[in-house]
Amino acid sequence: MFLKVLKYPNPVLRKMSEPIKEVTSDILQLAEDMWETMMISGGIGLAAPQIGKNIRVIVLLTADLGNLIDQQYPYCTMINPEILEIGGSQYDTEFCLSVPGKGKKVRRPETVKVQYLNPDGKIEIVKLSGIKARCVAHEIDHLDGKLFLDY
Ligand code: ZN
């Protein structure tokens, strides 16, 4: 189901999101709807606050990330994602579905090691680099009420 993407300066985008205590079927359905919304909107990542839910869930397009690929869908759901380590830096233009038509150059780590719960409720740890590191850093910022415009 396609969900409405909230636009800046909606105050929901500025709230701190709550951790998920239990991975329920409602959460998994929400992640699926977020993925559909992201794909239709042409994004490569989406965070729950962007569709009006202040909970710590993000989805990323990961078609070439072998072990992250859900068996059925080319996206990765990260629940309660946390960056454990960062390395290097990259400086490139970023965009956001909540801030249509505006790009801004933002400095991000070149690599991030991130821990999260997968849809089975199991802890996974993965190291991402390049655009995927940028994307996960951008989406986790959304969970903390931060936007790329703040940099
Ligand atoms: Zn965004």
Query: Which residues line ion ligand 1, judged by CB < 5 Å?
Result: 96
Please list the pLDDT of the chain residue by residue as tens digits (151 residues): 999 999 999 999 999 999 999 999 999 999 999 999 998 898 989 999 999 999 999 999 875 544 444 445 567 899 999 999 999 999 999 999 999 999 999 999 999 999 999 999 999 998 998 888 999 999 999 999 999 999 9
The dotted CATH code for 11-150 is 3.90.45.10
Tokens representing 31 are 């992640």
> What local confidence, expressed as pLDDT, does residue 63 receive?
57
CA 142 – CA 15 distance, rounded (Å): 9
Helix (H, G, I), strand (E, B) or coil at 39: helix
> What local confidence, expressed as pLDDT, does residue 68 receive?
43
CA–centroid distance, residue 146 to ligand 1 (Å): 9
CA 67 – CA 50 distance, rounded (Å): 26
Side-chain-side CA neighbours of residue 49 (13 Å):
27
CA 124 – CA 22 distance, rounded (Å): 16
> What local confidence, expressed as pLDDT, does residue 71 receive?
47
CA–centroid distance, residue 142 to ligand 1 (Å): 7
User: Annotated catalytic, 139?
Assistant: yes
Domain ranges of the chain: 11-150
